[in-house]
Structure 1
Amino acid sequence: MNFLLFATIFISVFIIITLYISKRLVKKLHFKQRYKNYFNAFLILNLLGVFGYMVFRYYPIIPNSVYFLLSIPIGVIFLLFSTTVIYDIFSFIIEKGIPNEKRRTFLKKSLDFSSVALAGSINAKAMYNAKHIEQENVTVKIKNLPQSYNLVQISDVHIGGLIDQDFIASLVQRINALNAEVVVITGDLIDTDIRFAQKAVDELKNIQSTYGTYFVTGNHEYFHKVDVLIEYLKSIGIYVLENETVYIGQDDKGFNLAGVHDLFGYRMEQYEPNIEAALQESNPNAPTILLAHQPKFIKEVPNSVDLVLSGHTHGGQLIPFNLLVRLAQPYIKGLHQHNEHTQIYVNKGTGFWGPPMRLGASSEITHFTLVPA
């Protein structure tokens, strides 16, 4: 029922956006009607692709080549919508601000051609960006940390469809090249039933680190039998932090690594986050790093936590979607000093959700050097 409601709203929104593009961009272009018809047919094909994507998103039983064609339209329509908004603004300025008819017509035609060229360019650039995962090297100073540590974070991988076994195998190779002492996965690891993702998830067994790989749930895990996924991850040697703390390091030279379930657990009324339980067994003399999928969980974090590692936002993934994300989350990407006691780092996501496209927010592997303040 939840999926049907989400799918209905999702597709309805894209129908409205498509109509807006057709009325406010295509109809106003100084192109021959034949080309406008082609453009509208292209929009209809994209809309059908969105529908197909929603059908196969959570049941990736089709070839990746077909899945790619079905996923691209989401990004194409969204970026065309953004282009149309900009086009509308400049078109209004030209219409109202240029009294000379010949000059107005010239500028309007220039705007038409440049807008179509811009739309094509940014879509191509967004697809190119999604293929390349950047390594972000971040140094974080932490009070009372006895010695330096090397930690790697990945987040929002969204295994399923285009994020397949080959993608994860390549990702694991890059992680292992960093010789991490600790590897953390801050939620939204899979985006399908584990039976479709098992081969890709199994590649995570090959991650090498001194103290192991740690995972906390993200909101997408709750859509796909979160209990089954948790147990499976445990069975392949990944430590799932379920509102609990482990001590990383030897003797008194380490730090607390805590983890909480995602805020979505409140809505689902299962696997709810509990910061008090998570910190109950922590060493009071050691600094604490907390894994929490959504940045806004920081509102529940006490001052005893030195650093929060989050994801969820994808850095916005596609401009200007980051502006909407900012309405829901206090931080979008990067390192921030939340208050006098606590810092937070938001990973932009290692994979992608929906279209294999990124614009203004690259995929990332975060390589932390934790040093004594």
Structure 2
Amino acid sequence: MTQAQERVARPRSRRLFVVVLLAALVLLFGVPWWLLVLGPQWPVAVFVVGTVLFAGAAVGFPWLMFLGHSRRAQDWAARIGDTTLGVVWVLFAWTLLGTVPRVVLGLAGVDNPLRSRLVAGLVVAVTLVLVLWGYVEAMRIPRVKRVDVVLPRLSPGMAGLRVVLLADTHFGPIDRARWSARTAAAVNALEPDVVCHAGDIADGTVERRQAQAAPLGDIRARLARVYVTGNHEYFGEAQAWLDHLTELGWESLHNRHVVVERGGARLVLAGIDDATARASGLPGHGANLTAALAGADPNLPVLLLAHQPRQVVVAEAAGIDLQVSGHTHGGQIWPFHYLVRVDQPTVHGLTRHGDRTQLYTTRGAGFWGPPLRVFAPSEITLLTLRTAG
């Protein structure tokens, strides 16, 4: 692209961003206001208070998100902005679902404005319950999900290998140092042979999130602790996080592999950078499976760490036995998983791709942005590798 083309493209991109932002604000804040505040024909006082609340939130939200997630991120703004995003998303989704009881009440002969007021009350009550429950789910220690994975090429000496998968810890504006320590203890209680962290350790620099990430250094594994970058590392200091995890005793699989051995059997643990790494412009970064497998015995089974499930396309072409990923959060706040599914081949669980390759996608241990998890519980995954026999 020439400099002249770039000068033309920049304003167009900015205009598109503004249009998308305004459309999102109108939908997220305008639809609930229309159906919950305007439609029910409340008394003037209720209408004014509701309108002021929605208008204030709509105006303040983009400002808070900018302050909280720009390069000079201010955690207080991120906490408020992220929480606002979570609450309004739940309210928006359940306002739309309120169409169902609205129709039912209409068929039952309940007239307006009583019908609209009943539905508005129901939507607000459901939203309040889900937000409170979602906060508890987000802040709790992740549940352990146990999954057996059969790998036909696995040698008997590796049968029963215990692989613990972590991803999406997202240490960020809310200080979760105690949560991190308790999560590390839960991992150690599983007595893993291998521990994998599939990326998105934190939102922010190593300096700002070091205390929250410190308990990762206490995690123990008999054979290896391995880590790859996620897309959020590339919003900040990807190389610094790779270096820091190395300092904590982890193997940073920056397009490379290690081989573990047990009972005379061997397994290749490979890792590639996140799918966004190359676009970040960071020198030396970009997913490269060929480099990751360079020198590996092609007869050995391979467990690949790749942050995004969609990277399985490359894994399948290379005949990888098992890819482990995160990124999706299982949708995090229902029904967002429908949008995630547009971008990713799977949202959660074990899936098969081609004749050999399997993919396990974890819902992740933490959360991004809104401190909520609604119908998408966090998890620590214990994968037990089995032979075909």
TM-score (normalised: structure 1): 0.89
Aligned AA (2:181):
A
Cα offset, 1:11, TM superposition? 5.8
Correspondence 1:86 to 2:97: yes
User: What secondary structure, in the 3-state scheme, does the structure 2 residue paired with 1:56 have?
Assistant: helix
Aligned AA (1:32):
P
Partner of 2:221: 209
Cα offset, 1:350, TM superposition? 0.7
User: What secondary structure, in the 3-state scheme, does the structure 1 residue paired with 2:98 have?
Assistant: helix
- Percent identity over the alignment is 27
Cα distance in 2 for residues equivalent to 1:67 and 1:264:
23
Cα offset, 1:108, TM superposition? 3.9
Which residues in structure 2 correspond to 1:130-141 (within 5 Å)?
Answer: 130-132=138-140, 133-141=142-150
Cα gap change, 1:294 to 1:35, in 2 (>3 Å): same
Cα distance in 1 for residues equivalent to 2:348 and 2:23:
26
Comparing 167-176 with 117-126, which one deviates more in the overlay?
117-126
Question: Does structure 1 retain, via aligned residues, the 8 Å contact 2:330–2:337?
Answer: yes
Cα distance in 2 for residues equivalent to 1:202 and 1:103:
59
Aligned AA (2:342):
L
Per-residue displacement from partner, 1:26-57 (whole Å, max 9, x unpaired)? 21125333223333333345442563244134
Question: Does structure 2 retain, via aligned residues, the 8 Å contact 1:261–1:273?
Answer: yes
Partner of 1:364: 379
Cα gap change, 1:73 to 1:180, in 2 (>3 Å): same
Cα distance in 2 for residues equivalent to 1:32 and 1:105:
11
Cα offset, 1:355, TM superposition? 0.8
Partner of 1:268: 280
* Unaligned runs of at least 5 residues, structure 1: none
Correspondence 1:158 to 2:170: yes
Partner of 1:222: 234
Partner of 2:346: 331
Comparing 247-256 with 127-136, which one deviates more in the overlay?
247-256
Correspondence 1:15 to 2:25: yes
TM-score (normalised: structure 2): 0.85
Partner of 1:285: 299
Question: Does structure 2 retain, via aligned residues, the 8 Å contact 1:244–1:281?
Answer: no
> What RMSD, in angstroms, separates the aligned Cα atoms of the two structures?
2.7
Aligned AA (1:238):
W
Spell out structure 1 runs of 4+ moving beyond 6 A: 4-10
Comparing 265-274 with 327-336, which one deviates more in the overlay?
265-274
Correspondence 1:25 to 2:36: yes
Cα distance in 2 for residues equivalent to 1:318 and 1:94:
26
2:123 to 105, 115, 130: 115
Correspondence 1:145 to 2:144: no
Cα distance in 2 for residues equivalent to 1:62 and 1:119:
25
Cα distance in 2 for residues equivalent to 1:338 and 1:9:
38
Cα offset, 1:20, TM superposition? 2.5
Question: Does structure 2 retain, via aligned residues, the 8 Å contact 1:191–1:220?
Answer: yes
Cα gap change, 1:216 to 1:9, in 2 (>3 Å): farther
Cα distance in 2 for residues equivalent to 1:53 and 1:105:
36
Cα distance in 1 for residues equivalent to 2:170 and 2:150:
30
Cα distance in 2 for residues equivalent to 1:367 and 1:251:
21
1:241 to 246, 250, 253: 253
Cα gap change, 1:345 to 1:78, in 2 (>3 Å): same
Question: Does structure 1 retain, via aligned residues, the 8 Å contact 2:274–2:287?
Answer: yes
Cα gap change, 1:75 to 1:154, in 2 (>3 Å): same
* Unaligned runs of at least 5 residues, structure 2: 1-9
Per-residue displacement from partner, 1:182-230 (whole Å, max 9, x unpaired)? 1110011111011101122222111111123111011110111212222
Which residues in structure 2 correspond to 1:56-71 (within 5 Å)?
Answer: 56-57=68-69, 62=75, 68-71=79-82
Aligned AA (1:56):
G
Aligned AA (2:87):
V
User: What secondary structure, in the 3-state scheme, does the structure 1 residue paired with 2:42 have?
Assistant: coil
User: What secondary structure, in the 3-state scheme, does the structure 2 residue paired with 1:264 have?
Assistant: coil
Aligned AA (1:277):
A
Cα gap change, 1:200 to 1:341, in 2 (>3 Å): same
Cα distance in 2 for residues equivalent to 1:54 and 1:351:
22
Cα distance in 2 for residues equivalent to 1:219 and 1:340:
29
Cα offset, 1:138, TM superposition? 1.0
Question: Does structure 1 retain, via aligned residues, the 8 Å contact 2:309–2:326?
Answer: yes
Cα offset, 1:280, TM superposition? 2.1
Aligned AA (1:39):
G
Question: Does structure 1 retain, via aligned residues, the 8 Å contact 2:40–2:113?
Answer: no
Cα offset, 1:269, TM superposition? 3.8
Partner of 1:38: 49
Cα distance in 2 for residues equivalent to 1:60 and 1:9:
24
Cα offset, 1:118, TM superposition? 1.7
Cα gap change, 1:172 to 1:24, in 2 (>3 Å): same
Partner of 2:333: 318
Cα distance in 1 for residues equivalent to 2:312 and 2:177:
33
Question: Does structure 1 retain, via aligned residues, the 8 Å contact 2:93–2:335?
Answer: yes
1:300 to 314, 324, 327: 314
